[in-house]
Amino acid sequence: MVLFSELFISELKGDPVLDRLQEPVGRVQDYVIAVGEVFPKVTGLLVRVYDKNEDMVLLMGEIDLVGKQFVVTKTVRDRIVYTKPRPDELLLWRDLMDKQIVDTEGARVIRVNDLKLGKIGQDVRLIAADVGVRGLLRRLGGLDLFDTVLGVFGKKVPDTLIGWDHVEQLKTGRVKGMITVPTKHVSEMHPADIANIISQVHSEEKTAIFASLSDKTAAESLHELEPKIQALLLMTVDTKKALGVLEKMPVDELADVLGDIPPERAEELLRLMKPRKAAQVRKVLAHPEETAGGLMTTEFVTIPRSLTVEQTIERMRSMAPDAETIYYLYVTDESGKLAGVLSLRTMIVSPPRTVISDIMVKDVISVAPEMNQRQVAEVVSKYNLLAVPVVDKEDRMLGIVTVDDVIDFILPPISRRIRHMLG
């Protein structure tokens, strides 16, 4: 029988365990829980047994009463059946207290100050994590004092609980092979939120979370992270996963990331990548990072000026999946020079048989590959462009710089996850 509706485990540690004749048996050290359910069930208590002078597990089946101040067993002292603690068991105090967890609702990493147990049916279950000041004060032993003082003003120390259904547990610091809840929650979050979580957890956990994401989600999250963490992830994750993720990234982001990791690893990954993509990445990498050439992507759509609107739309169906933006179509002349640009909108509203060269804008705003990224940002911002083409001296197109690559220079750099700028 459970004699409470809910309580915090910091109030329980060290409680005496008595047998049915009120004889002392031992003291409660920790709580064994079963994973797998949303609110994990407490299956037993880890008890320091006085007779044996060691910690043994007392399963809930052996227990008659669980109260706030004491625990009473079903049988007399000598007939209690204990089990030996297994190393892969999950213990509340040892494995969760003071550790970091992910609050999947608030998309943040947070520390457990206390854990709340509740009576659900006849079971004792873990229902919430206390992550606020109240939990801290309870642990320090000053909660009553603070509540009394604040009570004078008609207030109390605020309670910050996160229901266990919104908690994702981290794996670091646990014994190898221990059962863990699959990281379903985190992988369902927005890539920017995942990046935020990754940037806040310990390095091993960074790799673990990253590896558990789908290639596509991983690629999107990777782009949101600061270069140092990108490098760390690509260095620690296994090569197969790294390649899978890189395949999903656009060429410009790929070049960006590979430019920040040690050259040997970058070269290794480039060699293993699909040759076509690798060649495009190398092209971008040949330009300095802070110039238009280093920012550009080589995935864009060009069309010869002699095509009609109808033919162009047909052609785009086959080309577009690879292109970073299809809102602008770049038009080339017979010698491959950039002759004009056409918005998707103009093309769709034009009659099918119109020739492209009749409707395109001939005066194209373009930049040289050597142009500094700040100037590129100015051009994009001045002409309100979604993308600007990069051309060589002969006016041949090398790539495009899209607005998201230079947005940091237009807006203050708040979007990147800058955490420890030190170190």
Partner 1 sequence: MRSHRFRRWWLFLAILGPGVISAIAGNDAGGTATYSVAGARFGFEMLWILFLVGIALVVIQEMCSRMGAVTGKGLSDLIREEFGVRWTLFAMLVLLVANIAVTISEFAGIAASLEIFGITRYLSVPVMVAVIWFLMTRGTYRGIERVFIAMCFIYFSYIFSGFLARPDWGMAVRHTFVPSFQLDINFVLLAIAMVGTTITPWMQFYLQSSVVEKGIKIKQYRYYKWDVIIGSIVAVVIAFFIIIACAAVLHPRGIVVHEAKEAALALKPFAGGYAAALFAVGLFASSTLGASILPLSSSYAICEAFGWENGISKKFGEAPIFYSLYTGLILLGGGVVLLPNIHLIDIMLFSQTTNGVLFPFILIFMLMLVNNKRLMGEHTNSQANNLIAWAVALVLIIMTGLLLIASFNGKIA
Summarize as ranges the residues that interact with partner 1 (CB under 8 A): 97-100, 108, 110-113, 131, 136, 139-140, 172-173, 200, 202-206, 228, 232, 235-236, 255, 259-260, 262-263, 266-267, 282, 285-289, 294, 413-414, 416-423
Which residue pairs, CB below 8 angstroms and at least 24 apart, start in 181-187?
181/35, 181/36, 182/212, 183/208, 183/209, 183/212, 185/102, 185/104, 186/102, 186/104, 186/212, 186/213, 187/212, 187/213, 187/214, 187/217
Burial per residue of 207-243, b for 16 or more beta-carbon CB atoms within 10 angstroms, e otherwise = bbbbbbbebebbbbbbbbbbeebbbbbbeebeeebbb
Cβ nearer to partner 1, comparing 47 with 284? 284
As measured in angstroms, the least distance from the Cβ of 155 to partner 1 is 18
Cβ nearer to partner 1, comparing 79 with 282? 282
As measured in angstroms, the least distance from the Cβ of 37 to partner 1 is 25
| 3-class SS of residue 169 | strand
Task: Please name which of 284, 272, 208 lies closest in space to residue 246, comparing C-alpha atoms.
Answer: 272
Cβ nearer to partner 1, comparing 24 with 262? 262
Cβ nearer to partner 1, comparing 77 with 241? 241
Cβ nearer to partner 1, comparing 205 with 299? 205
As measured in angstroms, the least distance from the Cβ of 122 to partner 1 is 31
Cβ nearer to partner 1, comparing 121 with 412? 412
As measured in angstroms, the least distance from the Cβ of 229 to partner 1 is 8
As measured in angstroms, the least distance from the Cβ of 206 to partner 1 is 8
As measured in angstroms, the least distance from the Cβ of 278 to partner 1 is 11
Rounded to 5 degrees, φ, ψ at 361 are -85, 125
Structure tokens at 385: 């462009």
| 3-class SS of residue 405 | helix
Residues 6+ apart with CB under 8 A from 171: 178, 180, 205, 208
Cα distance from N-terminal residue to C-terminal residue, the chain: 53
DSSP letter at 274? Answer: -
As measured in angstroms, the least distance from the Cβ of 370 to partner 1 is 14
Cβ nearer to partner 1, comparing 180 with 306? 180
